Amino acid sequence: MPHDPYRALYVHLPFCVKRCAYCDFATAAVPADAPEIDAYVDELVLDIRRKAKEGELGALETVYLGGGTPSHVGLARLSMLLYTLSLSMHLTPEVECTMEANPESLTERMVRDIWALGVNRLSIGVQSFDDDVLRTLGRAHSADEARRAIEAAFTRFENVSLDLMCGIPGQSDESFEESVREAVRLGATHVSVYPLTIEPHTPFDAAVLAGELDEPDDDAEAAHMEIAERVLTEAGFARYEVASYARPGCESRHNIAYWTGVPYLGLGRSAATMTQNAARRMRVKDGQVTDDLDARQMAAEDLMLGMRMTVGVSDERVEQAAALLPELPATLDGLARRGLAEHREGRWRPTELGWLCGNELYGDLYDLAP
């Protein structure tokens, strides 16, 4: 049975000026003039052209250039990549095209040129506007460099997203709140807030094991997430996903695609592709199948992902899923009794407690069809 058309494209650029102490992504710290970046981008261009010839790019609604740090690869390579995309799939204004950037490598000229080539949304990895916190994280930029990069972004872009991190050892409530307020002051249209996670085999993991760094405090993370919701809501943002806030109309359509079961194509090292039809969903990374779900498992996963979002899942979706997962109504009632979910206005939605205790909420739904 053929798969549904891809509607989202992720292009992975796995290069950075340095690796942050907490990072476990598939990235490498290499100089911007390294020949391996040229070879990698050349291969990406060939992959894009091949997929276009195979008819796989015709239904795309969103494109996301992520990393790593796409801005680190430089304007010449980005221009070649974006030009190839525009020839292969027509980067019209209706296509949401996001590029990630870090402050140390985003210039006003780059902003100008990538905007002209079809990028219409920038996502800047700020993490904090506190220089002490940035040093703890091992970031390559200062708070002032972040401010300059954001100002440069707004010379062309209307939709600029900022990433912030919370729950960092040594990061006070006041420091985090000031970073959120600074993001608002600088004009961000979208803010993502990520609690620090200590991943195995990272420098942070080694520092925690050696007693040189405190483990992230769950209560501090929860307090910071509550600060973010309060400050951003007061500023006119709406929380539409567990970690994401946006001004009206500025939600990330690409990320929503991931959370709503939309088939996506991944190009580049360690980029995942998800194909599906009515009976089967598969994810493939680096040629290896990482997920192979039947219809029951697809239904459970869609419910779990839907509960990442403030809109939750509709009664109609629940009724359809219950035909495959007969224990679903009892599971939802149990989540409601524990305060993790609520039913109102014809939809099941996560509560604030449900988001804070996400492992319980998502685990119960996933376990309906493990």
Q: Which helix (H) or strand (E) holds 340?
A: none
Measure the CA–CA gap between 23 and 202, rounded to whole angstroms.
7
pLDDT at residue 309, rounded to an integer: 94
Instruction: Give the model's confidence band at 59: pLDDT under 50 very low, under 70 low, under 90 confident, else very high.
Output: very high
Measure the CA–CA gap between 20 and 31, rounded to whole angstroms.
15
For residues 251-278, give the mean pLDDT.
94
For residues 165-181, give the mean pLDDT.
95
For residues 4-24, give the mean pLDDT.
91
Q: Sketch out the chain's domains with CATH numbers.
A: 8-257 (3.20.20.70), 299-369 (no CATH)
pLDDT at residue 1, rounded to an integer: 62
Extract the tokens encoding 304.
């779990």
SS3 labels along 285-329: ECCEEEEEECHHHHHHHHHHHHCCECCCEEHHHHHHHHHHCCCHH
Give the rounded distance of the alpha carbon of 56 from its chain centre: 23
The whole-model pTM stands at: 0.94
pLDDT at residue 345, rounded to an integer: 94
